[in-house]
Amino acid sequence: MSCEVCGQDMLKANGCCGKQLRIDGKLYTRILYGNEDLSGLGFEPNVPERCGDCGCKKGFLHHWGCDLEVCPKCGRRLLSCECDDVALIVTEEEEAEVKANTEAGAGGTET
């Protein structure tokens, strides 16, 4: 299955593009998979090498729309948080990098 933002095969790519989000008019850096603050769980979870929803690897960005991505503003799941006006910011440089990787048949992008 291909990501609608980066166009890569989500189960083979390292991760997605778009390092920033605009939330309520302010810019926030997206949280890399595996770097989420899970201390409130009361135990140390075993984080798999790939996200169970979107397939990104540890240390890379979730694919846009992943159910497990954490909102960098409120700390809740991004898809169900109550933050307003959330927009993914993808730079021209990131788009060009993804396009080059896709055309070369590469499995992922170092985002």
Per-residue confidence (pLDDT) for residue 77, from 0 to 100: 92
* Average pLDDT, consecutive stretches of 10 residues, N- to C-terminus, the chain (111 residues): 92 93 96 85 76 94 95 93 94 82 56 42
Per-residue confidence (pLDDT) for residue 109, from 0 to 100: 45
Distances in whole angstroms, Cα of residue 15 to Cα of each of 75, 82, 83, 87: 20, 25, 24, 18
Per-residue confidence (pLDDT) for residue 102, from 0 to 100: 64
How far is the C-alpha of 79 from the C-alpha of 60, rounded, in Å? 18
